[in-house]
Structure 1
Amino acid sequence: MEDYIGEIIRFTDMKQHKTLNEIVFEGIRKAIIKGILPIGERINEKEYAERMNISRTPIREALNRLEKEGLVECIPHYGVIVKKITIDDAKEIYQIRKALDILATKNAMKLMTKKQFEELRNLLEETEKLNEQNEDLDVVIKLFSEFNGKIYQYSHMPRLTNMVTKLREYLMRFRDISLRGEERRKKALSEHWMIYRAMCNQDETQVNMIIKEHLSYSEKFIIKEMEKQ
């Protein structure tokens, strides 16, 4: 049996300036989302507390919050297990993402300075250059995320940013798998360029259309990957 608790301990940063409850919650949550804790794995509250050298209360609180998020479920007479993220979950997340991404992008393009537009273009050029070299895919995938992150940053909508960050995390593992395909990366990069140009032109109609198409294509890839697994 793999030492999943050991992985979570290595994954949990106890040095953060946050409450213990929050640190434990974020550590277990990230482990589930990144696939460190597999679907169906039983989370033994007592064992986790002993291995992490803390009381059972933070573990219990974390599991309660994770159950509300739909990441774990309590099975009567058995315990808490990691819940599967379903295809219906993915479809719902993408439906919400389309609305939030369009809202953030429209707000950002109205508020962005000339320098910020240049930063966004430079980011796309760097992504294109590294993608053509086809070497360090981890860096390329990170730059794809930075493009989305900058748009949300420039939108000056922190609550919206927090919402979409949590939604993206659910499917991050599958999205990263899909972007490792050369064809998918080329298309995604082309769509990012189209979003950028529509923003430069302050064209809300184009922003609507391109983002919907961009996320619909991403959704198809991720659902296909989920079906394989």
Structure 2
Amino acid sequence: MEEYFSKIVALTDLKQNKPLNEIVFEGLRDAIIQGVIPVGERINESIYSEKMNISRTPVREALRRIQEEGLVEYVPHYGVVVKKITIDDAKEIYQIRKALDVLATINAMKIMTEAEFEEMRHLLVKTDEADESGNVKLVVELSKEFNDMIYRFARMPRLDVIVKKLRQYLVRFRDISLTEDNRRRKALDEHWLLYKYMKQQNVEMLTAIINEHLDFSEIFILQTMERLEVSSKKEKENEK
């Protein structure tokens, strides 16, 4: 635990101007999603509260909320442990994402102003320039900004909150997918197509591009998860 607890403390910044319960919840949740706390690890309320120098109550409340999201589970006579995000979980997340992304994109398309379309076009140009210069980190950041922009222009804040939570489950794998040249260029081309068909108010083509975009991302991430599973099994076998 000592090896990764400094990272947990950094994610759980108690100096934030938020209620303590919310800070602890967000910090522990991020630590689990980002893989800082290993799968199968027991989360002991007493130890965590002692390390954070807080009472056990906010830790207990955070674990209750995290358990409701399915990120941890209670094992009788043992305690709360971190659950693994499975391939079936990833498939379900993508199925939901497809429906919600189509909803948000169509809603944005109907109400966006010319100024907002120009802001989107400018972002895509900036992303292409970053890609051409080989700045992969910036491409990843700007691609996230493009996805966020669609939800911002859709003016559906509740939907935005739901989708951001879904994205976080696969954040470790999503960024990997954009570091590969072929996948990254395809994703950027699809972003341009989304912009084009949003301007044309073409619902049919928008839906097709969104599904294709997420299908390709899903295949890549599932393959990555499968490779990591195989690698993990081999490591465990070697340890025996």
Q: 5+ residue gaps in structure 1? A: none
Aligned length: 228
Spell out the pairing of 1:185-204 with structure 2 (5 A cutoff).
Answer: 185-204=184-203
TM-score, scaled to structure 2: 0.92
- Deviation of the 1:41 alpha carbon: 1.6
Q: What is the rounded CA distance, in whole Å, between the counterparts of 1:170 and 1:201 in structure 2?
A: 33
- Deviation of the 1:11 alpha carbon: 1.4
Deviations 1:46-86 (A, max 9, x none): 01101101000111111111111011111122221111001
Q: What is the rounded CA distance, in whole Å, between the counterparts of 2:101 and 2:109 in structure 1?
A: 12
Q: What is the rounded CA distance, in whole Å, between the counterparts of 2:137 and 2:80 in structure 1?
A: 33
Deviations 1:136-158 (A, max 9, x none): x2221011110010000000101
Does residue 127 of structure 1 match 2:88? Answer: no
Q: Secondary structure at the match of 1:81?
A: strand
Structure-1 residue corresponding to 2:151: 152
List 4+ stretches of structure 1 deviating above 6 A.
none
- The one-letter code matched in structure 2 to 1:111 is I
Identical counterparts, % of pairs: 60
Q: Secondary structure at the match of 2:31?
A: helix
Structure-2 residue corresponding to 1:166: 165
Structure-2 residue corresponding to 1:110: 110
- The one-letter code matched in structure 2 to 1:76 is P
Q: Secondary structure at the match of 1:43?
A: coil
- The one-letter code matched in structure 2 to 1:189 is L
Q: Secondary structure at the match of 1:120?
A: helix
- The one-letter code matched in structure 2 to 1:128 is D
Deviations 1:169-197 (A, max 9, x none): 11111001111111110010011111110
Q: What is the rounded CA distance, in whole Å, between the counterparts of 2:61 and 2:144 in structure 1?
A: 31
Q: What is the rounded CA distance, in whole Å, between the counterparts of 2:111 and 2:190 in structure 1?
A: 21
Q: What is the rounded CA distance, in whole Å, between the counterparts of 1:48 and 1:139 in structure 2?
A: 35
Structure-2 residue corresponding to 1:213: 212
What do you get for the CA RMSD once the two structures are aligned? 1.0
Structure-1 residue corresponding to 2:233: none
Quick check: 156-165 or 4-13, which moved more?
Answer: 4-13
- Deviation of the 1:2 alpha carbon: 4.5
Q: 5+ residue gaps in structure 2? A: 229-240
TM-score, scaled to structure 1: 0.97
Q: What is the rounded CA distance, in whole Å, between the counterparts of 1:78 and 1:138 in structure 2?
A: 41
Deviations 1:105-137 (A, max 9, x none): 0010111111110110111111111111113x2
Q: Secondary structure at the match of 2:170?
A: helix
- Deviation of the 1:16 alpha carbon: 2.2
- Deviation of the 1:12 alpha carbon: 1.3
Q: What is the rounded CA distance, in whole Å, between the counterparts of 1:209 and 1:90 in structure 2?
A: 21
